Amino acid sequence: ALCNRLDRNTSGLVIATKNAVSLREVNKSIKNRQIRKFYTAVVEGAPPDSGHIEGNLSRDGYVTKTADEGKNASLDYKVISRKDGCSLVEIELHTGRTHQIRAQFSGIGYPLLGDTKYGGHGEKFRQALCSTRVILHFDRESELFYLDGKEIEILPPFGF
By CB atoms closer than 10 A (0-12, 13-18, 19+), residue 111 is buried
Among candidate residues 7, 60, 68, 139, the one labeled active-site is 7
**139 catalytic, yes or no?**
no
84 phi-psi bin (left φ>0, alpha ψ -120 to 50, beta other): left
CA 64 to mean position of chain CA atoms: 15
Catalytic residues: 7
